[in-house]
Chains A and B, each alone.
Chain A
Amino acid sequence: MTAPALRLTDVSVTLGGVPILERITADIERGKTTAVIGPNGAGKTTLLQAILGLLPARGRIEFLDPDGRMVPPRLGYVPQNLNIDRQAALSVLEFLSLDTQVMPVWLGISAEAREGAATALDRLEARHLLDRPLGKLSGGELQRVMLAAALHREPEVILLDEPVSGVDVAGGHLFCDILEDLALDRQLTVLMVSHDLSVVTRHAAQVLCLNRTVSCHGPTPEVLTSAHLQDLFGQHAGLYQHTPRRPEHRCTHHHPPSPSHPNPPSHD
C-alpha cells in the first residue's frame, strides 16, 4: 500500500489570537482528488495556505513519497480570488514566463519559455490563449491559465481553492474533467476546496469535512450523507435524489458515481 502524498498531524493555525484551525489530522491520498468542504469561516482556505507555507502553523505538515519517506514539497496552487489586475498590460505568455526565465520578459521570451508555456496550455486545450492579454480573459479561461501555470511547475500535489467559483456550470465541469484526466495521467494528488457540492460529488474521490477541526473524512459516497452534512452545515442541509442529465460522463472511471446529489446547504 502506498503512503499518502500529504500527512497532516495536529495542524493548528491561530491568526491575531483567534484559533482558525485546531488539531487537524488527516492523510491526503496519493493520486486522488480530495475535496475540503465546510461552512464559511471553517478555515478551508487557511488550511491550504498553511500547507503552502503562506501562514505560520503548529503541528506537522509532511509531504511523503510512495514509500512514506519525507520529501521536499512540489506544489501547484490555483488561488481562490483571481483578482488579477484586469488593467495590467500582460499577455498570457508573459505571465507564464515570469517564473520560468530569468531574463526580464520585456527583453523578450526565450524559445524554451515559449515552448514550455505553449505545452502547458496545450494540456488544457488552451493554446489559443497564448498571446491574449491576461486581463481580457473570461473567468473560465483565466482558471485554465492559472491551472496551466500551476501544472507548468510539474507538481506532485496541486491545491485548488474554489476552482470553479465565478465560472459557469459547464465551464466548471470542463475544468474539473480536464484536471481529472491530467491527475490520472500523472498520478497527481489534488486537494480542492469547494463550496459546490455537485462538483465535489462528481469529481472528488475523498472528502474532508472541516469546521475549524476535522468533522469527517473518507470516500465521497460515505461522507456526503445527510447526517454528515447536517452536522457540518446545520439542519437545513440535506441530499436530494438526482437523475444526471448525462447518464455516463467522463469522470465515472475515477470513482463510483453517487446515487444522490446533495442539496447545497443554505449556510454555505
Chain B
Amino acid sequence: MTETLLHALYGWLAWLPFDFLQLAFMQRAVVAAACLSVVCALLGVLVVQFRMAFFSDAVSHSAFTGIALGLLLGIDPWVSVLAFGVGIGMLAVRIRRQADLAMDTTLGVLFSATIALGLAIISARKELARVLPGFLYGDILALTDRDLLWIVILSIAEVAFLLRWFNHLLFVSLHDHLARSAGVRAAALETAFAAALALLVGFAIKVVGILLVTALLVIPATTARRLATTIRGQVWLTIALSLFASLAGLATSLRFDAAPGAAIILWATAGFGLTFFRRT
C-alpha cells in the first residue's frame, strides 16, 4: 500500500512543470525531503524548547560507533546506527534522571565515550574508514525505493506519536515539576521523545549526513521561534521554512552540483539570518 502511495506521489510530481522532477532519483529525493522536513520541524520545535540541540548532535555523532559496530559484527550499518543511536539516547535520559545531572554533562560523558569507542574500532580496522564519508555528508540523491519506504513509515509513526503527545511534551519542556504535578508522566515521555529523536536523527543522516543533521532540526525551529508569538505560529512557520529550505536546497544542489545536505542547511541558515533584519 505504501509503495502504491509512493508511486502515486511520483506520478503527481512528474506532472509539475520542472524538468528535474522527471528524474526518478529527484522524485525520491523530493518525497524524502518533504517527509523529513515535516517531522524535523515538529521535533525541532521541541528540541529547541527542551534545549536538546547537543543531544541530537551527540546521537548523530554516535553513528560513527554504530557504523563501526555494524561493520565489525557483520550487520547492516544502518540498522546498527539506528539501534545504537536509540540506545544512547534513552541511556542519556535515564542517567540524567537517575543521577540528577544536567543533560549537557550527561551527554558530555556519553558523547566522549561513544566517539572514543568508534574511533578505537575504526583505527584498529582501517578498511572500515572507507565507508565513513557517505555517512558524514549524507546523499539524498542516492536514496533507493526501500530507503524511501522506511522514511515514509518513520515519518507517519513520528507524526502519530507527536499528534498524541505533543502537548504533554511541551508541558514537560516548560516546567518538569509543574507537568508532573498535573499527572503528566514526564520520565516516560522524555525517554520516548529521546528514542523518537534518535530514530529521526538516524534516518536524517541519510539525507544531510552526520555533520549537519542537528542543523536541520534546530535552525528552522529557531528561526520560527524568533518570529512567532504562539506555538501554533511557530510550528507552522517551522514546517514552511523547513520545506522551503529542503526543496530550494535540492534545486540549488542540482543547479550547482553541490552537496544537497549542505545546500539545504545553507538555505535554512539564510532564513535565520534574515530574522535579524526584522523590526522589533
Q: Give the size range of A's interface with the partner.
A: 20 to 34
Classify chain B's interface size: 20 to 34
How would residues 156 to 168 of chain B score, 1 for a CB under 8 Å from any chain A CB and 0 otherwise? 0000001110111
The B139-186 residues at the A interface (CB cut-off 8 A) are 162-164, 166-168, 170-171, 174-175, 177-184
Residues of B within 8 A of A153 (CB): 182
Q: Are B180 and A99 in contact (CB under 8 A)?
A: no
Cβ of B163: which chain A residues have Cβ within 8 Å of it?
103-104
- Flag whether A97 is at the interface (Cβ < 8 A): yes
A150 to chain B, nearest CB (A): 8
- Give every chain A residue within 8 A of B231 (Cβ-Cβ): 88-91, 94, 105-106
Residue among B164, B166, B184 having the largest count of chain A Cβ atoms under 10 Å: B166
Candidates B175, B183, B224; contact of A79 at CB < 8 Å: B175
How far does the alpha carbon of A77 sit from the alpha carbon of B182 in the complex, in Å?
A: 8
A261 vs B110: C-alpha distance when bound (angstroms):
54
Count: A-B pairs, CB below 8 Å: 89
Given A94-B231, A153-B182, do A101 and B167 touch, yes or no (CB 8 Å)? yes
Does B236 have its Cβ within 8 Å of any Cβ on chain A?
yes
- Of B164, B177, B228, B235, chain A has the most CB atoms within 10 Å of the CB of B177
Are A105 and B184 within 8 A (Cβ)? no
Residues of chain A with a CB closer than 8 A to B183's CB: 99
Q: Which 6 A-B pairs have the closest CB atoms?
A: A106-B235, A77-B181, A104-B166, A89-B234, A89-B228, A98-B171
A selection of 7 A-B contacts at a CB cut-off of 8 Å is: A77-B181, A88-B49, A89-B228, A89-B234, A90-B230, A106-B231, A106-B234
Contact surface of B with A, Cβ cutoff 8 Å:
49, 162-164, 166-168, 170-171, 174-175, 177-184, 224-225, 228-236
